[in-house]
Amino acid sequence: MNCEPAREYLLDYLDNELPATLQQELSEHLRACASCREELEEYRKTALLLQLRAVPEPPEEYWEQSWARIRSRTVARVLPLNPGKIFRRPAWQTSNPLGWPVRLAIAATLVLAIGGLFMSLPSKPQYQAERETAKRASYAATQTLNPEDMPVEMQRQIELITFTTAAAGSLDPISKGAPMIKLARQD
């Protein structure tokens, strides 16, 4: 280690605040270098003089003046309250980021949307009419037809359908009925 970096570490060496490796390196340098040893001794003498120097007790007036200054500074930091700020409105009542026209437009849009929703629902008379039609269709489907009440042509078709259903199993009369009727007429 050279003298220049060693002199930077002398005070830390004196206070034992250096890492072990650096302290060992500086100790080796101090054994070899007389000028750095002399400077370290000067630092030790100065530190000893500072420790031996007695600090005088300040007079009683000092403490009174200090407390008076502290009180004057703390009083100066207290600000008077503004009564208008104490009784002000909440922020949600005073802040108006959206203007009244925008709020009205939003309200009108909501009213139209809700109104459109109700208008799209089926009205009661329409709903009842659909329900009555469904009831009639259901009733007609469940009723058995009496062949004697029908015209003669339909009676032949019903007989044919009944006969073919019994002979061939269940046939769909709508899709298979036309060829069957043609076969029956050929008889």
Q: Per-residue pLDDT tens for 99-108?
A: 778 888 999 9
Query: What is the value of pTM for the model shown?
Result: 0.31
Contact (CB, 8 A) for 43 and 11: yes
Q: Per-residue pLDDT tens for 18-31?
A: 999 999 999 999 99
In terms of Cα–Cα distance, which of 183, 161, 186, 156 is closest to 173?
161
Report how far residue 77's alpha carbon sits from residue 66's, in angstroms, rounded to the nearest whole number: 17
129 dihedral zone (left: phi>0; alpha: psi -120 to 50; beta): alpha
Domain extent listing, the chain:
3-52, 145-187
Using only C-alpha atoms, the chain has a radius of gyration, in whole angstroms, of 56
